[in-house]
Structure 1
Amino acid sequence: MDFEPSKKEKQLNSFVVSKFLKTATEKINTSEQPNYNTMYQQGGLSATGGAIHKVVIPLRVAIHRRVAILRKVAIRHPEATHHHRNQDFNPRGMAAQATVSRHMEVQGGVGEDADVKGFDFNEQSIRKSFVRKVYAILMSQLLVTLAFITLFVYHTPTKLWAQQNTWSFWVAFAMMFICLIVMSCCGDVRRQSPTNFIFLGLFTLAESFLLGVTSSVYQSDAVMMAVGITAAICLTLTIFAMQTKYDFTAMGGILLCATVVLLLFGLIAIFIPRNTIVTLVYASLGALLFSIYLIYDTQLMMGGKHKYSISPEEYVFAALNLYLDIINIFIYILTIIGAARD
């Protein structure tokens, strides 16, 4: 049996639709685009360990931090900017997410209907989808990296080949470096699919190879212990970052200064004869620094009431930051275990 709406219901539906279109138009016309020149990016850098990791760690940290500081797509939360509207804007002209949450009141003597009183495009739903996408990408990266590490640690022919053919290490390092610079400096590359996934995939493969070579110089039980400790630390820090009321997103400048200090320490340590105490201190400071970076990047991704948040269209870059933080923690933990056994 066909249902024929009453005249009053037709008037209500027509009014709601027209009100919705009018509201959406006003939002588009009055939206404020964030100033990308004042935004910055932070990320982490991994190390390669072994005989040359003391050179590679400070170099890569310095390069990525110096480049990253110019390009971070972080935006102020409305509560931190006197309740200005938060608009994550796509430079190609499409609004990735605007907090369009105006409740439309039905006027004209009809009254307010609880079922149709508002169309709430809440940022929370998009942020949750963004977080799920970031962690899906991150888990894929970590699984690939774990597979490479396992191969290099337990498959003797692969381990011997990598140690005898050092050119492969430098080829992988060059690929990693190029992909990192491109994704850090070129916003369109890291936002446009499938280009962003291609560069991220190449970076992950190169980084996984480097970590595999690094892990091959350690005993297998030490590597697996480092993997377990890293997993426990990262899980604990992630839960802490999501639950704590302290806002770490305002610590970008402090973390950058700490990274420069770590860089100088690492450069000085290169010229110091092998010393277990120096290695333990250096690796411990590095693990602590990138543990804080993991909290920082997690809160940037979560958004919410934090002072800064990363744009939902930057899911690849958010995953890259977390991935780099985690592998840095891993390589420093592995260094600590190796130095403690010497």
Structure 2
Amino acid sequence: MYGFEAVSSSEDGGVKGDIEQGTLYPGLGYGENQLRWGFIRKVYGILAAQILLTTVVSAITVLYAPVNELLRSNSGLLIFLIFLPFILLWPLHVYQQKHPLNLVFLGLFTTSLSFTVGMTCANTDGRIVLEALILTSAVVSALTGYTFWAAKKGKDFSFMGPILFTGLFVLILTGFIQAFFPLGSTSSAIYSAMGAIIFCGYIVYDTDNLIKRFTYDQYIWASVTLYLDVLNLFLTILRMLRQGNN
């Protein structure tokens, strides 16, 4: 009997260890942990579809001459595509829980952003675009892996929200100033470096929110925030590499 109890205790400990090994963060129950993992997989699935759509649209913009020429020759259309994502953020937020409208607005939002990304890549050397893509992939993978590991160890990154928001506000304000009073090469390099640091911080912060704070019906908004983090980091790295090349 004692041998049976010892084996049962060992088996219970092994099962408990296996469950805790996959627990997202301390104190999360087994059932809630399974639901959370399902939610995370859903968000990353949508994010992967957004990145794939961006890659396809950008490639068409760069390689298909009629589209490229249309955007180059029609400045009004290009300006419209630049501001369209900001307009679509409102219905995307309002209808994020209403299927299929949420997916329709998400597709329009991603496509409109993809055209501007494509035009940026079209005006950049292909080698630099590839370098930026590789660096962005490496940084995002490393920061995502670190955030999941840190959450499992009980670390919390919610304190970063106000800091990152302030930094982003300063970054946007500096961008507007730069439009009227162009910065020098050193100032532009500092500006790009600050942008890269801020968006790296946002990847950690929003991934931590994905693990702990986003509700299960906010899968669209969670994917949008992570998509914007990745996209802005890519564009910032691309700008830094282009300035370094010049």
TM-score of Structure 1 vs Structure 2, range by shorter chain: 0.7 to 0.9
Q: How does 1:1-342 map to 2 (within 5 A)?
A: 122-184=31-93, 186=94, 189-244=95-150, 245=153, 246-273=155-182, 275-303=184-212, 309-342=213-246
5+ long unaligned stretches in structure 1: 1-76, 80-98, 102-119, 304-308
* 3-state secondary structure, aligned to 1:163: helix
**TM-score (norm: length of structure 2):** 0.82
Aligned AA for 1:333? Answer: I
Measured against aligned partners, the alpha-carbon deviations of 1:58-93 in whole angstroms (never above 9, x if no partner) come to xxxxxxxxxxxxxxxxxxx997xxxxxxxxxxxxxx
> Letter of the aligned partner of 1:260 in structure 2?
F
Aligned-pair distance for 1:259? 1.4
Consecutive unaligned residues of structure 2, counting only runs of 5 or more, are 1-24
CA drift of 1:264 comes to: 2.6
Q: Deviations over 1:173-198 (max 9, x none)?
A: 343122112223x2xx1111111111
Deviations 1:23-82 (A, max 9, x none): xxxxxxxxxxxxxxxxxxxxxxxxxxxxxxxxxxxxxxxxxxxxxxxxxxxxxx997xxx
Distance 1:261 1:241 in 2: 25
User: How far off is 1:257 after superposition?
Assistant: 1.3
Q: Distance in 1 between matches of 2:127 and 2:90?
A: 34
Equivalent position of 1:52 in the other structure = none
AA aligned to 1:317 is W
How many angstroms does 1:224 deviate by? 1.6
Deviations 1:243-274 (A, max 9, x none): 12431123211111111222232233223335
% identical equivalent positions: 32
Residues 278/156 of structure 1: CA separation in 2 closer, same or farther (3 Å cut): farther
Give the 3 Å change call, closer, same or farther, for CA 262–143 of structure 1 in structure 2: same
Q: 1:269·1:278 contact (CA, 8 Å) conserved in 2?
A: no
Partner of 1:9: none
Residue identity opposite 2:121 in structure 1: S
Match of 2:71, SS? helix
The corresponding residue for 1:20 is none
Q: CA deviation at 1:157?
A: 4.1
Q: Structure 1 length as normaliser, TM-score? A: 0.60
Residue 204 of structure 1: how far off its partner (Å): 0.7
CA distance in structure 1 between the partners assigned to 2:39 and 2:138 by the alignment: 24
Which has the higher Rg, Structure 1 or Structure 2? Answer: 1
Aligned residue pair count: 219
For residues 90 and 214 of structure 2, what CA distance do their matches in structure 1 show? 19
Offset at 1:298? 0.5
Check whether the contact 1:154–1:220 (CA below 8 A) recurs between aligned residues: no
1:270–1:167 CA distance, 2 compared to 1 (3 A): closer
Quote the Cα distance in structure 2 between the aligned partners of 1:135 and 1:127.
12
